[in-house]
Amino acid sequence: MSYVVMKMNNAPAIFDAHASDYEALRRRLVPPYEAFYAAAVSALALAGRPLRRILDLGAGTGLLARAVADAYPRAQLTLFDGSPAMLERARAALGDGASYITGDFSALPPGRWDAVVSALAIHHLDDPGKRDLFARLHGALAPGGIFVNAEQVRAPTAFLQEAYDGWHERRALELGTTAQEWDAARERMLLDHLATADQQLEWLREAGLADADCIFKDHGFAVLVARRPG
Protein backbone atom coordinates (compact mmCIF):
# COMPACT_ATOMS: atom_id res chain seq x y z
CA MET A 1 0.00 0.00 0.00
CA SER A 2 1.40 3.38 -0.95
CA TYR A 3 1.98 6.21 1.52
CA VAL A 4 -0.67 8.23 -0.33
CA VAL A 5 -3.28 5.49 0.12
CA MET A 6 -2.40 5.04 3.80
CA LYS A 7 -2.81 8.76 4.41
CA MET A 8 -6.13 8.74 2.60
CA ASN A 9 -7.30 5.79 4.72
CA ASN A 10 -6.35 7.69 7.90
CA ALA A 11 -8.28 10.79 6.89
CA PRO A 12 -11.74 9.70 8.15
CA ALA A 13 -10.38 8.97 11.65
CA ILE A 14 -8.61 12.33 11.74
CA PHE A 15 -11.73 14.22 10.70
CA ASP A 16 -13.92 12.16 13.08
CA ALA A 17 -11.75 13.52 15.90
CA HIS A 18 -12.36 17.12 14.82
CA ALA A 19 -16.05 16.85 13.95
CA SER A 20 -17.29 18.84 16.95
CA ASP A 21 -15.22 21.96 16.28
CA TYR A 22 -14.77 21.56 12.53
CA GLU A 23 -17.08 24.31 11.31
CA ALA A 24 -15.91 27.10 13.59
CA LEU A 25 -12.31 26.24 12.82
CA ARG A 26 -12.92 26.13 9.07
CA ARG A 27 -14.30 29.67 9.19
CA ARG A 28 -11.01 30.80 10.73
CA LEU A 29 -8.78 28.71 8.47
CA VAL A 30 -10.44 29.68 5.17
CA PRO A 31 -9.90 33.45 4.93
CA PRO A 32 -12.27 34.01 1.96
CA TYR A 33 -14.89 31.72 3.57
CA GLU A 34 -18.08 33.60 2.62
CA ALA A 35 -17.07 34.45 -0.96
CA PHE A 36 -15.57 30.99 -1.51
CA TYR A 37 -18.73 29.06 -0.59
CA ALA A 38 -21.02 31.61 -2.24
CA ALA A 39 -19.13 31.22 -5.52
CA ALA A 40 -19.54 27.44 -5.35
CA VAL A 41 -23.29 27.69 -4.89
CA SER A 42 -23.75 30.35 -7.56
CA ALA A 43 -21.79 28.21 -10.03
CA LEU A 44 -24.59 25.65 -10.02
CA ALA A 45 -26.71 28.08 -12.03
CA LEU A 46 -24.39 27.41 -14.97
CA ALA A 47 -26.28 24.15 -15.48
CA GLY A 48 -29.06 26.30 -16.91
CA ARG A 49 -31.80 23.90 -15.89
CA PRO A 50 -33.52 22.51 -12.79
CA LEU A 51 -31.26 20.48 -10.50
CA ARG A 52 -33.14 17.51 -9.11
CA ARG A 53 -30.35 15.24 -7.83
CA ILE A 54 -27.20 16.73 -6.25
CA LEU A 55 -24.28 14.79 -4.79
CA ASP A 56 -21.88 16.38 -2.29
CA LEU A 57 -18.53 14.54 -2.31
CA GLY A 58 -16.57 14.73 0.93
CA ALA A 59 -19.52 16.54 2.47
CA GLY A 60 -18.12 16.68 6.00
CA THR A 61 -20.53 18.38 8.40
CA GLY A 62 -22.61 19.68 5.52
CA LEU A 63 -21.29 23.23 5.24
CA LEU A 64 -21.62 23.35 1.47
CA ALA A 65 -24.65 21.06 1.43
CA ARG A 66 -26.63 23.42 3.66
CA ALA A 67 -25.91 26.35 1.36
CA VAL A 68 -26.90 24.25 -1.65
CA ALA A 69 -30.10 23.13 0.08
CA ASP A 70 -31.03 26.75 0.78
CA ALA A 71 -30.51 27.67 -2.87
CA TYR A 72 -32.18 24.53 -4.27
CA PRO A 73 -34.79 23.44 -1.71
CA ARG A 74 -36.52 21.05 -4.13
CA ALA A 75 -33.37 19.14 -5.00
CA GLN A 76 -32.74 15.63 -3.69
CA LEU A 77 -29.42 16.06 -1.86
CA THR A 78 -27.03 13.21 -1.06
CA LEU A 79 -24.04 13.73 1.26
CA PHE A 80 -21.11 11.33 0.79
CA ASP A 81 -18.18 11.24 3.22
CA GLY A 82 -15.73 8.84 4.84
CA SER A 83 -16.32 10.16 8.38
CA PRO A 84 -19.46 8.90 10.17
CA ALA A 85 -19.05 11.56 12.88
CA MET A 86 -19.02 14.33 10.28
CA LEU A 87 -22.14 12.97 8.59
CA GLU A 88 -23.94 12.74 11.93
CA ARG A 89 -23.36 16.45 12.45
CA ALA A 90 -24.61 17.08 8.92
CA ARG A 91 -27.73 15.03 9.65
CA ALA A 92 -28.35 17.05 12.82
CA ALA A 93 -28.42 20.21 10.70
CA LEU A 94 -30.17 18.96 7.55
CA GLY A 95 -32.37 16.24 9.01
CA ASP A 96 -34.15 13.66 6.88
CA GLY A 97 -34.47 16.03 3.94
CA ALA A 98 -31.16 14.66 2.63
CA SER A 99 -29.52 11.25 2.24
CA TYR A 100 -26.23 10.29 3.91
CA ILE A 101 -23.75 7.70 2.63
CA THR A 102 -20.45 6.72 4.24
CA GLY A 103 -17.76 5.74 1.77
CA ASP A 104 -14.58 6.79 0.01
CA PHE A 105 -13.97 8.19 -3.44
CA SER A 106 -13.02 4.80 -4.89
CA ALA A 107 -16.71 3.97 -5.34
CA LEU A 108 -19.18 6.76 -6.00
CA PRO A 109 -22.86 6.36 -5.15
CA PRO A 110 -24.73 5.00 -8.18
CA GLY A 111 -26.96 7.09 -10.35
CA ARG A 112 -26.88 10.02 -12.70
CA TRP A 113 -26.53 13.36 -10.95
CA ASP A 114 -27.65 16.76 -12.19
CA ALA A 115 -24.80 18.26 -10.15
CA VAL A 116 -21.84 17.03 -8.16
CA VAL A 117 -20.27 19.44 -5.69
CA SER A 118 -17.28 19.18 -3.39
CA ALA A 119 -15.50 21.49 -0.96
CA LEU A 120 -11.95 21.03 0.34
CA ALA A 121 -11.99 17.25 -0.04
CA ILE A 122 -10.58 16.12 -3.38
CA HIS A 123 -7.11 17.46 -2.54
CA HIS A 124 -6.74 14.43 -0.24
CA LEU A 125 -6.32 12.33 -3.39
CA ASP A 126 -2.98 12.14 -5.16
CA ASP A 127 -2.85 13.41 -8.73
CA PRO A 128 -3.62 10.04 -10.40
CA GLY A 129 -6.51 9.68 -7.95
CA LYS A 130 -7.89 13.07 -8.94
CA ARG A 131 -7.69 12.22 -12.63
CA ASP A 132 -9.41 8.88 -12.03
CA LEU A 133 -12.17 10.57 -10.05
CA PHE A 134 -12.72 13.18 -12.76
CA ALA A 135 -13.03 10.43 -15.36
CA ARG A 136 -15.62 8.63 -13.25
CA LEU A 137 -17.52 11.85 -12.65
CA HIS A 138 -18.07 12.12 -16.40
CA GLY A 139 -20.09 8.92 -16.20
CA ALA A 140 -21.81 9.89 -12.94
CA LEU A 141 -23.15 13.19 -14.27
CA ALA A 142 -26.31 13.33 -16.31
CA PRO A 143 -25.89 14.94 -19.75
CA GLY A 144 -25.68 18.66 -19.12
CA GLY A 145 -24.85 18.03 -15.47
CA ILE A 146 -22.35 20.27 -13.70
CA PHE A 147 -19.38 19.62 -11.42
CA VAL A 148 -18.35 22.30 -8.90
CA ASN A 149 -15.17 21.89 -6.86
CA ALA A 150 -14.39 24.47 -4.17
CA GLU A 151 -10.80 23.56 -3.51
CA GLN A 152 -7.46 24.53 -2.07
CA VAL A 153 -4.98 24.62 -4.95
CA ARG A 154 -1.23 24.83 -5.34
CA ALA A 155 0.32 28.00 -6.69
CA PRO A 156 1.84 27.78 -10.19
CA THR A 157 5.35 28.61 -8.93
CA ALA A 158 7.40 27.97 -5.79
CA PHE A 159 7.76 31.73 -5.25
CA LEU A 160 3.99 32.21 -5.24
CA GLN A 161 3.43 29.13 -3.07
CA GLU A 162 5.67 30.58 -0.38
CA ALA A 163 3.81 33.88 -0.61
CA TYR A 164 0.42 32.14 -0.44
CA ASP A 165 1.49 30.08 2.59
CA GLY A 166 2.59 33.22 4.42
CA TRP A 167 -0.66 35.01 3.55
CA HIS A 168 -2.72 32.02 4.71
CA GLU A 169 -1.01 31.87 8.10
CA ARG A 170 -1.25 35.63 8.67
CA ARG A 171 -4.93 35.81 7.74
CA ALA A 172 -5.84 32.70 9.77
CA LEU A 173 -4.21 34.16 12.87
CA GLU A 174 -5.90 37.52 12.26
CA LEU A 175 -9.25 35.71 12.13
CA GLY A 176 -8.68 34.23 15.58
CA THR A 177 -6.89 30.94 14.92
CA THR A 178 -4.57 30.22 17.83
CA ALA A 179 -0.95 29.24 17.30
CA GLN A 180 -1.80 25.75 18.58
CA GLU A 181 -4.72 25.43 16.15
CA TRP A 182 -2.54 26.60 13.26
CA ASP A 183 0.16 24.06 14.11
CA ALA A 184 -2.46 21.31 14.24
CA ALA A 185 -3.90 22.47 10.93
CA ARG A 186 -0.46 22.36 9.36
CA GLU A 187 -0.13 18.77 10.55
CA ARG A 188 -3.47 17.88 8.94
CA MET A 189 -2.31 19.58 5.75
CA LEU A 190 0.22 16.76 5.43
CA LEU A 191 -2.79 14.82 4.09
CA ASP A 192 -3.11 17.27 1.23
CA HIS A 193 -1.92 16.73 -2.35
CA LEU A 194 -2.50 20.10 -3.92
CA ALA A 195 -2.53 20.57 -7.68
CA THR A 196 -2.70 23.86 -9.52
CA ALA A 197 -6.01 25.14 -10.83
CA ASP A 198 -4.70 24.89 -14.41
CA GLN A 199 -3.65 21.25 -13.94
CA GLN A 200 -7.06 20.30 -12.64
CA LEU A 201 -8.89 22.12 -15.41
CA GLU A 202 -6.81 20.22 -17.96
CA TRP A 203 -7.61 16.91 -16.24
CA LEU A 204 -11.32 17.76 -16.31
CA ARG A 205 -11.09 18.40 -20.06
CA GLU A 206 -9.19 15.13 -20.55
CA ALA A 207 -12.05 13.38 -18.74
CA GLY A 208 -14.44 14.62 -21.43
CA LEU A 209 -15.97 17.44 -19.43
CA ALA A 210 -16.58 20.75 -21.17
CA ASP A 211 -16.50 24.43 -20.24
CA ALA A 212 -13.93 23.85 -17.51
CA ASP A 213 -13.00 27.10 -15.81
CA CYS A 214 -11.85 28.68 -12.57
CA ILE A 215 -14.61 31.10 -11.59
CA PHE A 216 -13.20 32.22 -8.22
CA LYS A 217 -9.68 32.41 -6.84
CA ASP A 218 -8.18 34.04 -3.77
CA HIS A 219 -4.57 32.97 -3.29
CA GLY A 220 -4.77 29.19 -2.74
CA PHE A 221 -8.57 28.92 -2.65
CA ALA A 222 -10.36 28.36 -5.95
CA VAL A 223 -13.72 27.27 -7.32
CA LEU A 224 -13.45 25.09 -10.44
CA VAL A 225 -16.38 24.16 -12.65
CA ALA A 226 -16.96 21.81 -15.58
CA ARG A 227 -19.97 20.39 -17.38
CA ARG A 228 -20.84 17.11 -19.04
CA PRO A 229 -21.81 17.91 -22.63
CA GLY A 230 -25.36 17.22 -23.66
CB 176 within 8 A of CB 107: no
CB 69 within 8 A of CB 94: yes
Number of domains into which the chain is organized: 1
Q: Span 58-71, mean pLDDT?
A: 96
Alpha-carbon distance values, 25 to 36, 173, 176, 217 (Å): 15, 11, 9, 21
Percentage of the chain exceeding pLDDT 90:
84
9/2 Cα distance (integer angstroms): 11
Q: Span 76-98, mean pLDDT?
A: 95
Q: Predicted confidence band at 189 (pLDDT cuts at 50, 70, 90)? A: confident
- pLDDT the model gives residue 14: 46
- φ/ψ (deg, to 5) at 106: -70, -20
- pLDDT the model gives residue 3: 27
- pLDDT the model gives residue 188: 87
Report whether pLDDT(214) > 60: yes
- pLDDT the model gives residue 222: 98
11 Cβ contact partners less than 8 Å away, ≥ 6 residues apart:
82, 83, 124, 191
Helix (H) or strand (E) holding 136: helix 127-140
Q: Span 198-206, mean pLDDT?
A: 98
Question: Is 53 or 12 the better-scoring residue by pLDDT?
Answer: 53
Q: Is the dihedral of CA 131, 135, 136, 141 positive or negative?
A: positive
Q: Residue 83 class from Cβ within 10 Å (0-12 exposed, 13-18 middle, 19+ buried)?
A: buried
Average pLDDT, the chain: 91
Model confidence pLDDT, tens digit, residues 144-179: 999 999 999 999 999 999 999 999 999 999 999 999
Report whether pLDDT(18) > 80: no
Report whether pLDDT(46) > 70: yes
Domain ranges, residue 42: 3-227
- pLDDT the model gives residue 23: 81
What CATH number should be reported for the domain holding residue 193? Answer: 3.40.50.150
CB 44 within 8 A of CB 169: no
